[in-house]
Structure 1
Amino acid sequence: MAVSGLFFLNGLMVGSWAPKIPVLMERLGISEATMGLIVLCMGIGSVTMMPVFGALTARRGSTYSVRLAAILATPVLLLMSLAPNLWTVVITVLMFGATIGGMDVAMNANAVAVERARRRAIMSSCHGFWSLGGVAGAGLGGIAITYLGEVGHAVVLTVVLAAGLALVFPRLLQDVPSHADRASTPLRLPNTLLPYVIGLVALCCMIPEGAILDWAAVYLQRELGASLALAGWGFAACAGTMAVMRFLGDVIRQWLGAVTTLRISAVIAIIGLAIAGLSSSPVAAIAGFAVAGFGLANMVPIAFSAAGNLPGMANGVGLSVVTTMGYSGILLAPGSIGFLAEYTSFSTIYFGLALLLLFPLAMSRLMKTADFG
């Protein structure tokens, strides 16, 4: 429950960032292009600090690392709301990305530690709680900004986050490495190929998720003639089925095993993306995105569990590689797909993303380290 609470609070922070974007644009008087560069700074901060917190987790344990990252992250949205000009906002956005990214690595490592201790899967449901936090942050954040203002929303959020962390911190699983483990853990990237291959699996799984998030509505409107109201259901259908399956995913993985679960998930996601890409009507494409969500939901949690349990490798080291490579998919997808869309159709792109998932399917046997007897 405590580590699930961390995922919820992290999702709450990320979700609360979304409604701040138009507010920041209005307050700073900046264009969409400038805001896009600011959003990129968040990703740069995350990807930069993920390996650092991976090494810190390997040396000091995930509990220490996640406490440090969460404490540093808690006031950042308030500082962002108080930042008086563009450059101070950029600095706080970099800080936000860095602390959120560090917390992400450490809380996933703590979830792996709980899985080891309890000998059963919990990673998928943890990511389900992250989704709930994201929905709560985005939905309630807009309402709070409307009635309390930008700073008022940030103050309330900071208090809620601090109270939540005070509740979960004492209940986290302690996983302090022994002195021998610390001495044997080098502060460098792994020199074996396996974590990077699993990282590519996570990357291939997260690119379609980012593509649906950023471009499904555009595809439904421009190529399939959907109304604005209907177009929003592309990502909503995918996100809804993903949330449901993430809460069911641990039971399914415990029952079928990680390898079989990933194979079935990959096939379902491939079918869903192919339906979405080949559809001639928006309703059929939305149904395809929903099917894709069923498949995509548990692929990344399985990859994270597998990375955190690689034999002969400290918890945070392999996981930091996989999370950094995986989340770079969310960063790469929007710009790359937007560029490709200038030369081809979104229909072709989504069908191509279905083919991209053949790589995780082919590498599924590497997920056996995510199993618990």
Structure 2
Amino acid sequence: MTSVPLPHAGPHPSSAAHKAVAAMFFCNGAGFASWVSRIPAVRDGIGLSEGELGTALFALAAGALLAFRLSAWGADILGTRTQLLLAAALYFFVLPQPAVVGSQISLALTLFVFGTANGAMDVSMNALGVEVERRAGRSVMSSLHGMWSAGGLAGAAVGSFAAHLGVRPGLHLAGVAVVLATVVLVARRALPEVTARSTPDAPARGRPDASLLALGAMALCAFLVEGAMADWSAVLLRDALGTSEAVAAWGYAAFSVAMVVMRFAGDGISQRVGAVPLLRWGNAVSAAALAAALVVGSLPLTLAAFACTGLSLAIVAPVVFAAAGRRSRTSPGHGIATVASVGYGGFLLGPPVIGWIAEYAGLPVSFGVLVTLMALLALMAGRLKEE
């Protein structure tokens, strides 16, 4: 693959741009986890069943998928940096709204807008992450995704504490939105802009490289599990194990802690062990642990299984995105964007699917789908081998 020359220092040094993009990842993760931590309270406040909640969460997925389709046009018109800032403004404005609606329809409409803002942020953040990598001449995507996980941990921890104190979800989420929006305002000046690149033999827009489809399938499985863990882990602990709302938030916190640890350590571990064995055995062990937890119904075992799941999934996105960048026939950014689009669709479609299955078979059975997906990841790990 032909190397891309690094540009001369611009008005924003790469280190400052890296920190600014990392701040955006953190704020997005913290905002999303804050919403996730209060889902049980929002559901109970409106009186929704699992199926009705799953349908409302599908609106969030639909909004994000729409944003994925429109973000490329938006970046062409506005620029990626401006699109990210506008999406962030909408994201934090809407963040408290799901906690103050009074019906399933209004919740679904609000989540559709929230999902649109979140999807636009996802696409824009990852595009800027690719630009930071290009300027720095080294891999930073794993650490950026680690910052998203760190934000998820912070959001889950604050959400658990707010629930323990009895803080109303609307007040809690409004406070989080103000704090995170302030961080974005401070970081905005150092955000880079994506450098336009043209590739004569690039495939037509909307026609993905067939060699990336296997990597996309891996991302889809991983993000389906991650999305389901985000939206349903607290509900599983509360409903299936009878925990309090505050304790229920520990599930996503355990998952997020494990992801943070592995994402910041993942580069070194995968270099020593190898990405293929790490993904294969990590996901096999996690699938077995989660299956055992669902059968036994023990809180400690379930939390341990959630942590194992976080460890095994944390490295999937970084190594898959890196492989996509190396294999793309056009540019690393094209390969990463193709795989990320498929993967994030899974992240957002997973929660409603779990809700629909839970409506008829119960939450423990629906979580069995996650066991199957991690087993598939273990089987597909060999796809990471260079061809």
- TM-score normalised per structure 2: 0.73
Distance 1:147 1:345 in 2: 29
Give the 3-state SS of the residue equivalent to 2:327 in structure 1: coil
Q: CA deviation at 1:201?
A: 1.0
The residue type equivalent to 1:107 in the other structure is M
Distance 1:177 1:130 in 2: 26
Q: CA deviation at 1:312?
A: 1.0
Q: Is the 8 A contact 1:203 1:326 kept in 2?
A: yes
Partner of 2:11: none
Distance 2:168 2:237 in 1: 30
Q: CA deviation at 1:155?
A: 4.7
Give the 3-state SS of the residue equivalent to 2:205 in structure 1: coil
Residues 1:49 and 2:73 are matched in the alignment: no
Aligned counterpart for 1:303 among listed residues 297, 320, 328? 320
Q: Is the 8 A contact 1:125 1:247 kept in 2?
A: yes
Distance 2:327 2:261 in 1: 28
Give the 3-state SS of the residue equivalent to 1:357 in structure 2: helix
The runs of 5 or more residues in structure 2 that have no matched partner are 1-17
Moved more, 329-338 or 138-147: 138-147
Partner of 1:323: 340
**Per-residue CA shift, 1:202-260, capped at 9, x if unaligned?**
1211222333334444544555x554365543333222212211111122234444334
Distance 1:337 1:48 in 2: 21
Q: CA deviation at 1:126?
A: 1.4
Aligned counterpart for 1:274 among listed residues 282, 291, 294? 291
Q: Is the 8 A contact 1:7 1:127 kept in 2?
A: yes
Residues 1:334 and 2:362 are matched in the alignment: no
The residue type equivalent to 1:69 in the other structure is L
**Per-residue CA shift, 1:172-204, capped at 9, x if unaligned?**
4x65133x42x6546622343233322221121
Partner of 2:9: none
Residues 1:353 and 2:353 are matched in the alignment: no
Q: Is the 8 A contact 1:269 1:292 kept in 2?
A: yes
Residues 1:176 and 2:195 are matched in the alignment: yes
RMSD of aligned Cα (Å): 4.2
Give the 3-state SS of the residue equivalent to 1:107 in structure 2: helix
**Per-residue CA shift, 1:122-164, capped at 9, x if unaligned?**
3232112112223444655859988978767655543332112
Moved more, 80-89 or 246-255: 80-89
Q: Is the 8 A contact 1:266 1:361 kept in 2?
A: yes
Are the structure 2 counterparts of residues 232 and 94 from structure 1 closer, same or farther at C-alpha, using a change threshold of 3 Å? Answer: closer
Are the structure 2 counterparts of residues 266 and 67 from structure 1 closer, same or farther at C-alpha, using a change threshold of 3 Å? Answer: farther
**Per-residue CA shift, 1:39-68, capped at 9, x if unaligned?**
4333222111224335777x79xx942442
Are the structure 2 counterparts of residues 253 and 118 from structure 1 closer, same or farther at C-alpha, using a change threshold of 3 Å? Answer: farther
Partner of 1:133: 151
Partner of 2:15: none
Distance 1:9 1:327 in 2: 18
Give 1:165-244 correspondences, 5 Å limit: 165-166=188-189, 168-169=190-191, 172=192, 175-178=194-197, 180-181=198-199, 185=202, 188-220=205-237, 223=240, 225-228=241-244, 231-244=248-261
Identity of paired residues, percent? 32
Q: Is the 8 A contact 1:23 1:150 kept in 2?
A: no
Distance 1:49 1:81 in 2: 20
- TM-score normalised per structure 1: 0.75
Distance 1:24 1:281 in 2: 26
The residue type equivalent to 2:196 in the other structure is P
Q: CA deviation at 1:269?
A: 2.5
Q: Is the 8 A contact 1:124 1:250 kept in 2?
A: yes
